[in-house]
Amino acid sequence: MKTNLKGVVLVLLGAISYGILATIVKYANHKGIPVSVLTFLQSLIGVLFLMAYAYAKQKKQAHHLPLTHRARLKLLLFGTSLGITSSLYYLSIQYIPVSLGIVLLMQSIWMSLLLEYILYRKPIGKLKIIGALTTIAGTILATNILFQETALAWKGIALGLGAALSYTISLYASSTIEKTQPSHIRSLYLVSGSLLAVMMFWNSAIISDFTTLRALPWGLLLAVFGTILPPLLFTKGIPMIGIGLGGILIAVEIPVSVLSAHLVLGEHVALMQWTGIGLILFSVIMVNKPKTK
């Protein structure tokens, strides 16, 4: 029981870490720090930490099986989806509220089911179909699109959905690519791929926007809560409680993100939007229920 409780706490802490990222980004934007610099620093600091961590672990594990060139390339390639996700997600909340951004990102729930069907031709069960439809219904309520008095920023919506699609690919990569390798080695190459993607995505904007060292503390915060802590907490906590319960607990990042945006940024969240968020959380439970059993 103690081990299970410890696993639950570790996964919850990882989800909370992810949940506060968008609020940190938007708050830093208000302080004049551009998204390009924040995304670059998050990936760079994450890579440097994981390199040091992997080196320390390698000294203790002398019989570590080296990665092949093919495996490295696969991890780097799929890791680019992490950098694209961050870039698109952080860009989307420049046009829409954080509460809407996280809801759009969570469209990865039904996108993951669709990807699973396309790749493996694996039949989607009734519960999963209901869960996907519930997610869409929850999204309609959470975005308040039916009763929206002002026009939604469709550029932000498109960026948010693009982030969800990229996030779906990154979830697939994290759970299936080179699973036999230690998690810290896989994380290092995945995050290195993320850094490459960020550098290609933002290109010269990183240099032109990097006008002050005030960005460093914000980049460090994002690296700690977005690149360093969650993988370490999840890789330790999820094996203790199982993938099903882990998938449900990770969804806590949705209300955490909305609540942090409300408290820190003063974003208004209507009762109907909370109802939609509740529906999305319910759909996560439905999709993961068979795994939990």
Across residues 259-263, what is the average pLDDT?
90
Q: Delimit the domains of the chain by residue range.
A: 2-292
Q: Widest CA span of the chain, in angstroms?
A: 63
pLDDT band at 2 (very low <50, low <70, confident <90, very high): very low
Question: Does 285 or 169 have the greater pLDDT score?
Answer: 169
Q: One-letter amino acid identity for 229?
A: L
Task: Tell me the whole-structure pTM to 2 decimals.
Answer: 0.86
Judged against a pLDDT cut of 80, whether residue 226 lies above it is answered with yes
DSSP type of residue 146: G
For 53, residues 6+ apart whose C-beta sits below 8 A from its C-beta are: 184, 188
Other Cβ atoms closer than 10 A to 84: 23
Q: Residue 242: left if φ>0, alpha if ψ -120 to 50, beta else—which one?
A: left
Distance in angstroms (rounded) separating the CA atoms of residues 164 and 83: 12
Q: How far is CA 101 from CA 50, 185, 211, 227, 258, in A?
A: 28, 30, 27, 19, 9
| Average pLDDT score over the chain | 84
- Look at the chain and count its residues: 293
Tokens of 28: 């830093």
- Specify the residue for token string 């509460």: 99
In tens, the pLDDT along 71-119 reads 899 999 999 998 999 999 999 999 998 888 888 888 887 888 888 888 8
Coil, strand or helix: which one is 148? Answer: coil
Distance in angstroms (rounded) separating the CA atoms of residues 167 and 208: 28
CA-based angle 181:43:76, to the nearest 5?
40
In tens, the pLDDT along 138-148 reads 887 877 665 65
